[in-house]
Amino acid sequence: MREVPNRSRFFGAVRDTILYMNSIDFFESQEIADKSWKIHDIYVAESSKFYSYLVEGKDYALLIDTMMGWGKLDEYCKTLTNKPIKVVNTHSHWDHIGGNFRFDSCYLHPRDIPFFLESLVYTKQQLIDVSKQMAKEEYKSFELPDEYLVAPKPMKIFPIYDGDIFDLGDRQLEVVEVGGHTAGSIVLIDHKTRIAYAGDVCNGNTLLELPTSLPVEAYLKNLHHLNEHRSEFDMMYGGHEIYDSSIIDEAIETVSKVIDGTDAKCERTGMFGTPVYYAAQKKEDSSERVDGKRFNMSYLPNNIFGTGFAKQVIKNMLTQ
């Protein structure tokens, strides 16, 4: 694998003791397979890694997820490919759709469209505040230039479903529905390179504690559906982690224990400051499992059983 150099280098300047960021080298990329790049945002701290993936075909390139939206991801992608770019999101959480608004349209599973639309209420100031919280220490005093932050705006959303194909001309990526983390979470399998682009479907910190999450029982059913495609890929490139396909075995084993009531029930504080359970015992102050396995999952004890999808709560976005 070779490192792909960034062709856009910029420099900060000191003015009146305030460090302004005219621009920075927001992105780095690595070619992980033929015409397939992992792109990451080097502005954020190591504890908050975000990945996008660009896959080039003969006819167009597919950008899978767009991270938090800081920096000119659209322009950076043009340093890697001269093909037209289509955007697809593995699910609707902000750390996967934040850069969408530099493009004209995106593809998304319809069960995640309502949650995508909720992001339209975010302001530029909110994005600035979050960026300062998540920045590396050396960047915390920088002022992000206005053009490096794009507030959410209405955009075309094309629905995609299980079994749909992105035909790039000389390679095809297949959509596989794996709802759990969100109701509309998907995996994209590139049959040419045997890579599955997995978003947050299955990793070492799979969150099922969220309002957009499906019941654990429904998630297990969808993991089995993903496992039916297991012979079609070797590696899983996620939004925050990279792992081989054997993590699916660990996921099915661990989630099955939750259903049976035999999991570790490791109580921790969840994303919203309330108690949640983790299915496997975690090391203190770490996301790693005590037993050395990779997959783990947070969940709420009142959202284990059921196969229904998360219900929509329809609000007036203009009055929020």
Per-residue pLDDT of the chain (320 residues; tens, 9 = 90+): 334 444 333 323 333 323 344 344 689 999 999 999 999 988 888 888 999 999 999 999 999 999 999 889 999 999 999 999 999 999 999 999 999 999 999 999 999 999 999 888 888 888 888 988 999 998 888 877 788 888 898 999 999 999 999 999 999 999 999 999 999 999 999 999 999 999 999 999 999 999 989 999 999 999 999 999 999 999 999 999 999 999 999 999 999 999 999 999 999 999 999 999 999 999 988 889 999 999 999 999 999 999 876 666 666 655 54
pTM for the model stands at 0.90
Tokens, residue 205: 């910190």
CA atoms of 114 and 156, how far apart (whole Å): 13
**How many angstroms from the chain centroid is the CA of residue 36?**
17
* Half-sphere exposure at residue 319, Cβ-oriented, CA atoms within 13 angstroms: 3
Sequential DSSP letters for 202-243: SSTTEEE-STTPPPHHHHHHHHHHHHTTGGG-SEEEESS-EE
CB 216 within 8 A of CB 208: yes
What residue type is assigned to position 248 of the chain? I
Residue 25 has a CB neighbour count (10 Å cut-off) of 16
Q: Can you name the residues that pair with 188 across neighbouring β-strands? A: 175, 197
Residue 250 is inside which H or E element, if any?
Answer: helix 247-260
DSSP-derived letter for residue 8 is -
CA atoms of 141 and 23, how far apart (whole Å): 13
**How many angstroms from the chain centroid is the CA of residue 45?**
16
- Using alpha carbons only, give the angle 63, 68, 71 rounded to the nearest 5 degrees: 80
Given this model, what pLDDT does residue 268 score? 93
